[in-house]
Structure 1
Amino acid sequence: MTDPLLELDDVVVEYPAKSRGRKPFRVLQGVSLSIAPGETLGLVGESGSGKTTLGRAVLGLAPVTSGEIRYAGTPVSRLGKRERRALSKDIQVVFQDPYTSLNPAMTVMDILTEPLLVAGVARAEAQGRVQKLLDRVHLPHDAADRLPREFSGGQRQRIAIARALCRDPRLIVCDEPVSALDLTTQARVLDLFTEIQEATGVAYLFVTHDLSVVRHISHRVAVLYRGEIVETGDAAQITERPEHPYTKRLWLAAPVPDPKRQAQRRAERQKAATS
């Protein structure tokens, strides 16, 4: 059996209260999960469930109050800044909004070569890698000389994916990476994620509120509700035969293109909410 690439063991994340005398606000309440090399774990939950905080904790951007995060068997939840920078070679991120995560004053070439140059790669080699990355994410070669504002939302997200791939990571945290895109563009970007995974063996922690997206991209799914994992399992089981009432409500809330089916789902959701 393959050892996990990423493990979370009873992870708790708390933030200080805004006023004196009040208890800290607990966002994650003892979360445990794992991701194998080359696997996609879909982390699904509604707004406020704690899923983005979980992703930030993995990236070292949210403090871990208790519990442990391990990467390739090594504890990483309390690393210093230098050790965390070294780990960034292996763990990268793709954010929700590709435009705000890209420097609007830099060309695509500058954006993509920057992490390579910081890592000590020679400029000529870095530029050669960038051209290969643009091919991998299906952007034209002349994209390298253009600014982010010259691209559509889907193309900007491809640039963000290329940046995440620059240093050949083993794990990418994907924080709602398609939620800002229209449905057709969503499908193309999801297919790109799958294509890249098949070619490179990278693992994904794929954070989303949409079970239909999770079904498209994930091998396994974990459902987060108020900071706790309430259901985990294979993607087909969670999205087709959910057991927990919260997971069922999430599935009923997912939009479908058929108006009659959508109306039926709305009625079923209202019935579930009052039962």
Structure 2
Amino acid sequence: MTATAPLLSVDDLEVEFKGRGGKRFQALKGVSLDIRPGETVGLVGESGSGKTTIGRAILGLVPPSAGRITFDGRDITRAGAAERRSLAKDIQVVFQDPYTSLNPSMTIADILAEPLLIQGWTRNDAHGRVRDLLDRVHLPSDASSRLPREFSGGQRQRIAIARSIALEPRLIICDEPVSALDLTTQARVLDLLVELQESTGAAYLFVSHDLGVVRHISHRVTVLFHGDIVEQGDVDQVTARPEHPYTQRLFMSAPVADVAEQRARREQRRQLAAQGEK
């Protein structure tokens, strides 16, 4: 990637949640990252690392307790409802579960047209755009009259992706978008995301627990552990030659086809975990 000004900057972001008995839990502890136009930054970590919280803070779904979020030079850290509606044209999201992210009572045409109509498109123009969107995610045009339950998980995620690009956003938050899919379908959806990025120029923040998946799609990678960034860098460096013990454990957790290598990785992972507990 060439050096350009960041599209999104997250600076010293902190997020706290209230737990049982009023006890405070700090989910993010001064996290900083940036995403350039047309770039994919992979955000990887295990459950509880805080990776999804970053995406939710960018979307305005959780309030930061400290820090700053800047989009295209504009401070959106505490953007109000009206500003968030305006930002929807530029920042979209693909959620993890394609079975629950689509309204089961709406046709695919209505699901895809909804964000367009909210932004003031005419119904005729919106439905023309729906046909284009279905073509771009490689679904037949007759899919528009059907309901979400008539599609497989991979097809539903394609519909969710089509919805996310309907307004031609500049940034898409991809929150574990392939984790609910089988391996073959995962690869196809990842290839689709790469294809769409090449044609639209959108930037992605790609959230995942799987270092192998992140390697497939990202330009740079940020590794999160218990709300702290422990490693950042170029995708080849972080996913093939990780330096931090936690990233090395994630690397060793990735499945491989060779049984002997898988056994060796399992033993290395056990040793790294034991070292971390000392």
TM-score by length of 2: 0.97
Q: Distance in 1 between matches of 2:264 and 2:152?
A: 35
- Partner residue in 2 for 1:68: 68
- Give distance in 2, aligned partners of 1:8 and 1:184: 34
Distance between the aligned counterparts of 2:107 and 2:88, measured in 1? 23
Structure 1 segments (4+ residues) deviating >6 Å: none
Distance in 2 of aligned mates of 1:183 and 1:271: 28
3-state SS of paired residue (1:255): coil
Give the secondary-structure state (helix, strand or coil) at the position aligned to 1:52. helix
- Equivalent residue for 1:178? 178
Q: Aligned partners of 2:272 and 2:65: how far apart in 1?
A: 35
**5+ long unaligned stretches in structure 2:** none
Is 1:187 matched with 2:187? Answer: yes
Task: Give the corresponding residue for 1:56.
Answer: 56
Structure 2 residue corresponding to 1:8, chosen from 6, 10, 15: 10
Residue 257 of structure 1: how far off its partner (Å): 2.1
Deviates more, 1:256-265 or 1:65-74: 256-265
**Which amino acid in structure 1 is aligned with residue 232 of structure 2?**
T
Q: Which residue of 2 aligns with 1:245?
A: 245
State the one-letter code of the partner of 1:12: E
Specify the code of the residue in structure 2 equivalent to 1:247: T
Shift of 1:18: 2.7
Structure 2 distance, partners of 1:84, 1:125, is: 24
Distance 1:157 1:2 in 2: 31
Q: Give the number of aligned pairs.
A: 273
> Which residue of the partner structure matches residue 91 of structure 2?
91
Deviations 1:12-49 (CA, angstroms, capped at 9, x unpaired): 001124314x3x21000000000000000000000000
The residue that corresponds to 2:201 in the other structure is 201
Instruction: Tell me the CA shift for residue 263 of structure 1.
Output: 1.1
* TM-fit CA distance, 1:268: 1.0
How big is each residue's C-alpha offset from its partner over 1:200-220, in whole Å with a ceiling of 9 and x where there is no partner? 100000000000001100000
Amino acid at match of 2:21: S
The separation in 2 between residues aligned to 1:99 and 1:122, in whole angstroms, is: 29
TM-superposed CA distance for 1:77, in Å, is 1.0
TM-score by length of 1: 0.98
Task: List per-residue Cα deviations over 1:189-244 (Å, max 9, x = no partner).
Answer: 00000000000100000000000001100000000000011100000000111000
Which position in structure 1 is the counterpart of 2:78?
Answer: 78
**Which amino acid in 2 is paired with 1:91?**
I
1:19 aligns to what?
21
Q: CA RMSD in A?
A: 0.8
- How many angstroms apart in 2 are the aligned matches of 1:179 and 1:274? 28
Write the letter of the residue equivalent to 1:70. Answer: T
